[in-house]
Each structure stands twice: as structure tokens, then as C-alpha cells.
């Protein structure tokens, strides 16, 4: 009898605005894999809490809310309780709220199985902070994708300006540094490069070069299974 191989996962973790979402989505597209934007789930949980007037400090209530979120991803849109919330959860304020509740262990646990359910054939590319360390520890390839804080702030600045929004570089850089510090210092699933993850520093790389590198590593990792 032959062993059945587990559905392959590529875990891409890294700090805010490192470009991991864009890279992960393009890698998924190139391979015909599913894509999980785990940050969007934290953002939706924070948004639903604020809308339902649940305190961002009430860990038990947030975990309960997270277990029962009526959440779907369809054709690039995020649907909560039947309503598209993609724009609402992408604001800087929603990102800050997500980063606060993401420090709560009971909330993270409540979201664990929901994230694992995205592991469907033929494969999954998942991006976040703890995809390789907690959610998919048996991922075939683990990438820690980063860039200098200055470059990440520049990228976010460009994104906001392109969307026609007001932006200032200095507060963006400050906010990124605070979010990095919170993600790294928390005790529940801190942002970290695990020993089995490969480092992809995208400072000075464009998106295509980053995508290409991940595809090369994935093809190499697939030869050894």
C-alpha cells in the first residue's frame, strides 16, 4: 500500500506590510492552490466585536464571538453575515484592533480550526504570523517574508496614496514599529522565524522576484517528499 501524502501547504509568515499577502496570493494562483489570508479573519473578528459592542479586552466574549462568526471568502470579497466587509476591515484602525485582539490566546484558539479548514486539495498557500509555527506546523514549505521597516512603511504609504487616501510616512512607520513590537512580544503565537523556515528579505526585490523565489523553493521542497 502507498502512503497518502497530506495536502501540501506553503506557509508564508512575516511582519505587517511585508508584501506577504500579495506574494502568497500570486503563488497560490501560479500553482492553482487555495489561498488563506489569516489576517483578514483577525480583522473580521475585531470588526464584528466593535460592531457588536464587545470590548476588545473581553477575551471570553471575543472567543465566543469568533467561534460563531458567519464568515465567507468569495471571489476576493470577505462576507460577514451576508454583507461585504472587505473595505471596512482594511482600514488602519481595523488593523490596529485586529493586532490587539490577536494577542489573546482564547481568541486564537477559537480561530484555529476555522483556519485549518482551508487546507483543501490540491494545496493551500496561507499567510499570517503563525502559519508555520502553530496552524500548519507540517507545512511543506515555510517562508519568513520580511523587509526593512522603512521599506514596508514606504510600500504602505504608496498603497494608501494610490487608493486616493491621505497618508503620512512618519506616523505609518511609527505604527508599523508598534505593531511589530506587539506581534513579536506577545506570548501567544508570537511572530518569529522558526528554525525550519527560509528567510526571504524582499528589501530591494520586486513582487515577481519574490514570487519566483517561493516557487523555486516549493519545487525543491516537493522533490524531497
Strand partners, 73: 78
Binding residue (CB under 6 A) for ligand CDP from 179, 197, 200, 210: 179
Q: Smallest gap, in angstroms, from Cβ of residue 70 to ligand CDP?
A: 20
Joined together, the cell numbers standing for residue 149 give 521597516
Counting contacts by CB under 6 A, is residue 23 touching ligand CDP? Answer: no
Counting contacts by CB under 6 A, is residue 175 touching ligand CDP? Answer: no
* Dmax (CA) of the chain: 61
Mask: binding to ligand CDP, 73-112, rule CB under 6 A, as x and -? ----------------------x--xx--x----------
Binding residue (CB under 6 A) for ligand CDP from 31, 136, 183, 205: 183
Counting contacts by CB under 6 A, is residue 132 touching ligand CDP? Answer: no
Counting contacts by CB under 6 A, is residue 129 touching ligand CDP? Answer: yes
Rg, Å, the chain Cα set: 17
Q: How far apart are CA 211 and CA 147, in angstroms?
A: 15
- Give every strand in the sheet of 83-84, ordered side by side: 71-74, 77-80, 83-84
Q: How far apart are CA 190 and CA 133, in angstroms?
A: 9
Counting contacts by CB under 6 A, is residue 17 touching ligand CDP? Answer: yes
Counting contacts by CB under 6 A, is residue 19 touching ligand CDP? Answer: no
- Contact of 122 with 21, CB cutoff 8 Å: no
Contacts with ligand CDP, residue ranges (CB under 6 A): 16-17, 38-40, 42-43, 95, 98-99, 102, 128-130, 179, 183
Amino acid at each position: 500500500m502507498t502512503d497518502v501524502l497530506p495536502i501540501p501547504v506553503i506557509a508564508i509568515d512575516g511582519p505587517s506590510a511585508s508584501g506577504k499577502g500579495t506574494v502568497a496570493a500570486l503563488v497560490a494562483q501560479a500553482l492553482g492552490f487555495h489561498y488563506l489570508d489569516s489576517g483578514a479573519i483577525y480583522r473580521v473578528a475585531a470588526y464584528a466585536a466593535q460592531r457588536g459592542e464587545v470590548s476588545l479586552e473581553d477575551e471570553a466574549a471575543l472567543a465566543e464571538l469568533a467561534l460563531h462568526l458567519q464568515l465567507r471568502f468569495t471571489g476576493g470579497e470577505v462576507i460577514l453575515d451576508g454583507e461585504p466587509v472587505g473595505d471596512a476591515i482594511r482600514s488602519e484602525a481595523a488593523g490596529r484592533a485586529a493586532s490587539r485582539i490577536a494577542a489573546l490566546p482564547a481568541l486564537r484558539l477559537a480561530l484555529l480550526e476555522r483556519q485549518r479548514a482551508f487546507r483543501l486539495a490540491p494545496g493551500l498557500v496561507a499567510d499570517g504570523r503563525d502559519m508555520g509555527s502553530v496552524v500548519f506546523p507540517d507545512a511543506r514549505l515555510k517562508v519568513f517574508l520580511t523587509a526593512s521597516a522603512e521599506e514596508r512603511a514606504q510600500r504602505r504609504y504608496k498603497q494608501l496614496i494610490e487608493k486616493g487616501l491621505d497618508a503620512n510616512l512618519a506616523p505609518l512607520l511609527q505604527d508599523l514599529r508598534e505593531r511589530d513590537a506587539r506581534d513579536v512580544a506577545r506570548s501567544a503565537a508570537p511572530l518569529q522565524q522558526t528554525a525550519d523556515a527560509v528567510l526571504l528579505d524582499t528589501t530591494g526585490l520586486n513582487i515577481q522576484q519574490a514570487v519566483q523565489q517561493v516557487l523555486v523553493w516549493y519545487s525543491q521542497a516537493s522533490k524531497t517528499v
